[in-house]
Homo-oligomer: A and B are copies of this chain.
Amino acid sequence: MTVSPSQASASSSSLEVTDQTAVSGRAVTISDVALRAGVSESTVSRVMTGNHRVADATRLRVESAVRELNYVANAHARALAGQRSKLVAVLVDDITSAFDNRIAFGVEQQAMAEDRLCTISSTYADPYRELALIEMLREQNADAVVLVGGVVDDAVYRERMARLAHLLDAAGSRLVLCGRPSPGEGLPVTVVEYDNEGGGFALVNHLYGLGHERILFLGGTPGDTTAEARLAGHRRASTVLGLPDGPDLVMLGGVSRRFGYERIEALLAEGRLDFTAVHGFDDTVAAGALAALRDAGISVPRDISVVGYDDRQIASETSTLLTSVHIPHVELGRTAVRLALHRADPIAPAEQHVNLSTHLVVRESAQSIPHRPTTG
């Protein structure tokens, strides 16, 4: 069994305080180790990388020198001399969002499993900031750069991604798009999506099975691929099942709890309660809707059913537990890294594409309707 250098040093250096560490200032280098072990630098290098045969006795001498000096290889020198950089990067809109940080968590887990360092950065959905970050990552020769989250899929997006893909490819990095669409065929890019369309379909189908026919789709950013896909699933189900569909049953425009609350509040104020179920864009919007209904004295799920999307923590903490669609966030992140790092031929710029499935999680917030709510 070969063991990577940092694994070796991590496990060999115990947590006890037993150092003969170098004094503050100049760091310990490979030549210090070579000197102490009485071998050449090449031999130390061979022991550290573990990719060459070294006599057992020699190896042991080197290993103790490493331990005694607290030596770690300089990652920059190593990267410069041709090795890869051991760095995986993930760019999210906002690390404090639950959606983003679950995916980042998966990326980080897999990066760690593959003995890579992981950098997580927020772009605030600002293309200039995104580009600035990618420049830095290009400088670092990151192994993989994972971009997370829905986008508006237009020509500008496709061209920007195509350009990034080539730029990163030239620097030896792999671009991974996670939860966003492929920018086109034949690019050196890895795409990991999850099934928004299918989830949207499943929710409507579930509500239909409970007897609902007029279902309000609430929330989402117009044009955003995530919102569009969930809505597309909603619409396909409506068509297949013969449910009414129309502009009055679709309200896009926001993704916040507040948006959900205020829209429902407004509808109630206008007396436009001509639906029996709310299909929230995500759990956050659904939670807002839930609160608005509760505050108006309308019982969920007795009078109105509500469903969400994401299966976030919040779905199991609302007063009425939320029926939702589970997204395999962590698995998305892990898959992104796994695919990017293990391409059949790391040189050939082949495209990779997977679409992870989602599934319905039935809780309390959607039930059959024994009677229509009293609206007036």
Chain A residues in the interface with B (C-beta under 8 A): 6-7, 9-10, 13, 15, 17, 19, 21-25, 27-28, 70, 72-80, 85-86, 95-96, 98, 101-102, 104-105, 108, 112, 117-122, 127-129, 131-133, 135-141, 159-160, 162-163, 166-167, 169-172, 188, 257, 287, 317, 319, 347, 349
User: Is the CB–CB distance between A21 and B166 below 8 Å?
Assistant: yes
CA distance A179 to B80 in the complex (A): 37
A80-B76, A105-B95, A105-B96 known; A13+B120 contact, CB < 8 A:
no
User: Is the CB–CB distance between A170 and B10 below 8 Å?
Assistant: no
Shortest beta-carbon distance from A364 to chain B in Å: 14
Q: Provide the residues of chain B in CB contact with A349, threshold 8 Å.
A: 24
Q: Provide the residues of chain B in CB contact with A25, threshold 8 Å.
A: 170, 347
Q: Provide the residues of chain B in CB contact with A13, threshold 8 Å.
A: 131, 135
Instruction: Enumerate 26 A-B pairs (CB-CB under 8 Å) in ascending A order.
Output: A6-B139, A9-B135, A13-B131, A17-B162, A19-B163, A21-B166, A24-B169, A24-B188, A24-B347, A27-B141, A27-B170, A72-B171, A73-B139, A75-B76, A75-B141, A76-B85, A86-B136, A95-B95, A95-B120, A101-B101, A108-B122, A117-B121, A117-B136, A118-B120, A119-B119, A319-B319
Since A10-B131, A21-B170, A72-B135 are in contact, a sample of 8 more A-B pairs with Cβ atoms closer than 8 Å, ordered by chain A residue number, is: A24-B169, A24-B188, A25-B347, A72-B139, A75-B140, A76-B85, A119-B119, A120-B120
CA distance A131 to B7 in the complex (A): 11
The residue that A127 contacts in the complex, of B15, B21, B86, B137, with Cβ under 8 A, is: B15
User: Is the CB–CB distance between A167 and B19 below 8 Å?
Assistant: yes
Q: Provide the residues of chain B in CB contact with A6, threshold 8 Å.
A: 132, 135-136, 139
User: Is the CB–CB distance between B108 and A23 below 8 Å?
Assistant: no
A13-B131, A15-B160 known; A77+B80 contact, CB < 8 A:
yes
